[in-house]
Structure 1
């Protein structure tokens, strides 16, 4: 059996699927080690996985909370620019610290988050096989597909395609600093430089995507790209206490703005006020950046918690109000639950666009969010059975994908 190294972003939306895949590979006899910042060590070891801490001086304990605490209060382009700045800062550390740590650990192959941008350059330098995993919305660039930071639908007219090409050019410029840093290091290591790094960094190696194929616009992708479906499993989540005794039997609405972009207090208040006018019970999960005590007098008396056992709550839900993070969207679809999406930044607009495109929910742009607009969207989705029927079709599709087995087989294919 092989010794597999995992490289992932240090946020829960990426740690959850990667640790679930890692645990499944461990159950198949492989040894698994994460190379991570100090902030991720406790989560990884509690999952029964090995962890080597890298960048401890530059990224000490508490770094992730500080960095992403600021992001939680941002939206739109400002949030995207801030995220790109974080990625730039981390790429240098990846290139400087990972080769020695990976070499000392005796790693046979690397499993790399698509947004762990320096990972494949390190793998090329060490001459290791690797597999990329799209934990967020797939970041592969297709000049006919809108960038994932926009809520644009799948349109192929002349004006739409021109707008898409311009948007891709802007994103390339935003990532220029990362591109330049990777190429400087690749030259030092005697590796071919990237001319179009957003796709080239995936090489000819396999790519695993959490999306079901039908949750993606029609597009061209390499034969090494595999839609396997959600990499989640309730047993791999840490236990979370929840006041189940407060659930009163009314249709349940679960609202979560994720664990990153959840610092906008007014958004939670708009959700509560909007849902108060609907015959349903609201569960509001704050995601860790705010105290439930701040929301003790909300209209409709919702159940407000810092964290909720999301997979278990979704099993009972009639609707999910979401920031359109990919994990929450896929976990909702896996339970046949339709959505109202309120995307904040990064890939969330692209996820929201696909929710609308698949007919599994409605979208409210953040700038148009009010209690009234939220109530209209919630009532519209809950009263129209088509949304639930479409979500249930995804539930049935996802149930038949055997995602973790398929993903594990793809990882093992690079070991032969």
Structure 2
């Protein structure tokens, strides 16, 4: 069997979708070497892969000024983050960590962009691109050529990005890519953890894009939760979770208390392991259940409406279980995900800059009372369930390279 190198950006939303695939590759007999950071050792080793680590600041995507999520007003901001925050830091470290080792093929994270091409070229092996969000149906940055009318900040960003790119190309003796080539989905196959139905502009993507739906695999470190308690309390349950990076907003949680505190329903809030809820301890309504971490896949199977930041993983998991959404996109790709859900009729999007208890309450009431949202969530969910999941992904990858 083949020896596989897996290199994924050390972030929850990118590591977690890969774990089902890695587990299945191992079950199918492949030897998998997963290069990531110490932070993800437990869950990666549970997949059966051998872990090799490299130094990278823990929780960097929350604190690092280049990596932390932001609203990208221009594609060059995103591309600079890729080059300056990920490719420059990760690719040299990975190559040092695996020096003198041989592999048959590579699976790399799409957030590494051109960095994955560098790895494949230096190792002399074919590659698969792992795409944890929507695939780019059009080249990112195309149609945004700079001219004298562009502002100085954008021009400076372009020059800074290309300066790092030229330095890396010289260091690794590879060709210098154009700006729009840096984030492109490279590789013989592109694995997308969604369905063609949910993917925007899917008709523009060729057959090298494999849509397998979300990677639904139980988390071994998930704490227990008494779902029987929910049924004893109220017939309906609302679940609130704002991801792992931007979940420390106590003002938002206070808004939720005011919006939903007197409703005859369960409100389960996942506050995050590192969120200090003590300042709100005496304000928590009796119908709220607050935990630092909840097994989300289990929770969604007992949820009527999910209030979320519209991260790709959380959104896909909710739709997989036919749960409609109230979405408050915060940053990165979340507005794109929320727009697609709303376009297909499975949820409502609220403006993070204009939140109020009344607005939250009205959005929840609309999604709960109108069966259309549930019906549309089911349509998307059915497309995700039929996509085949990580088992189909592993089979297609192995079949492809067996024929090469």
Scaled by the length of structure 2, the TM-score of the pair is 0.86
For residues 175 and 319 of structure 1, what CA distance do their matches in structure 2 show?
42
Match of 1:253 among 219, 233, 238: 238
Question: After the TM superposition, which residues 10-89 of structure 1 pair with which residues of structure 2 at under 5 Å, given as runs?
Answer: 10-54=10-54, 56=55, 59=56, 63-65=57-59, 67-69=61-63, 76-77=71-72, 85=81, 88-89=84-85
Residue 176 (structure 1) shift: 5.8
User: Is 1:316 paired with 2:310?
Assistant: no
CA contact 2:193–2:211 (8 Å) conserved in 1: yes
Partner of 1:124: 121
Q: What's the CA shift string for 1:124-159, capped at 9, x where partnerless?
A: 22211110011123245357xx99xxxxxxxxxxxx
For residues 405 and 380 of structure 1, what CA distance do their matches in structure 2 show?
37
Partner of 1:156: none
For residues 3 and 30 of structure 1, what CA distance do their matches in structure 2 show?
6
Q: What's the CA shift string for 1:291-331, capped at 9, x where partnerless?
A: 34444222354100101010001001100001000011010
**Deviation larger for 391-400 or 341-350:** 391-400
Higher RCO by CA contacts (8 Å cutoff, separation 6 or greater): 1
Residue 174 (structure 1) shift: 5.1
User: Is 1:185 paired with 2:157?
Assistant: no
Residue 372 (structure 1) shift: 1.1
**Deviation larger for 11-20 or 349-358:** 11-20
**Deviation larger for 290-299 or 80-89:** 80-89
User: Is 1:340 paired with 2:337?
Assistant: no
Residue 215 (structure 1) shift: 1.2
Partner of 1:226: 210
Q: Which 5+ residue runs of structure 1 have no aligned equivalent?
A: 148-160
CA contact 2:19–2:44 (8 Å) conserved in 1: yes
Question: After the TM superposition, which residues 117-156 of structure 1 pair with which residues of structure 2 at under 5 Å, given as runs?
Answer: 117=113, 118-139=115-136, 141-142=138-139
Q: What's the CA shift string for 1:18-54, capped at 9, x where partnerless?
A: 1221111111110111111232223322443211012
Partner of 1:3: 3
Q: 1:366 to 1:174 in 2, by over 3 A?
A: farther
User: Is 1:352 paired with 2:346?
Assistant: no
For residues 255 and 46 of structure 2, what CA distance do their matches in structure 1 show?
36
User: Is 1:379 paired with 2:365?
Assistant: yes
CA contact 2:237–2:303 (8 Å) conserved in 1: yes
Residue 398 (structure 1) shift: 2.1
Match of 1:101 among 97, 104, 111: 97
Partner of 1:329: 315
Q: Secondary structure at the match of 1:287?
A: coil
Q: Which 5+ residue runs of structure 2 have no aligned equivalent?
A: none
User: Is 1:288 paired with 2:273?
Assistant: yes
Q: Secondary structure at the match of 2:100?
A: helix
Q: Secondary structure at the match of 1:136?
A: coil
Q: Secondary structure at the match of 2:387?
A: coil
CA contact 1:134–1:207 (8 Å) conserved in 2: yes
For residues 337 and 135 of structure 1, what CA distance do their matches in structure 2 show?
20
Match of 2:200 among 192, 217, 241: 217
CA contact 2:264–2:287 (8 Å) conserved in 1: no
Q: Secondary structure at the match of 1:290?
A: coil
Q: Secondary structure at the match of 2:204?
A: coil
Q: 1:200 to 1:340 in 2, by over 3 A?
A: closer
Partner of 1:158: none
Residue 2 (structure 1) shift: 0.9
**Deviation larger for 286-295 or 314-323:** 286-295
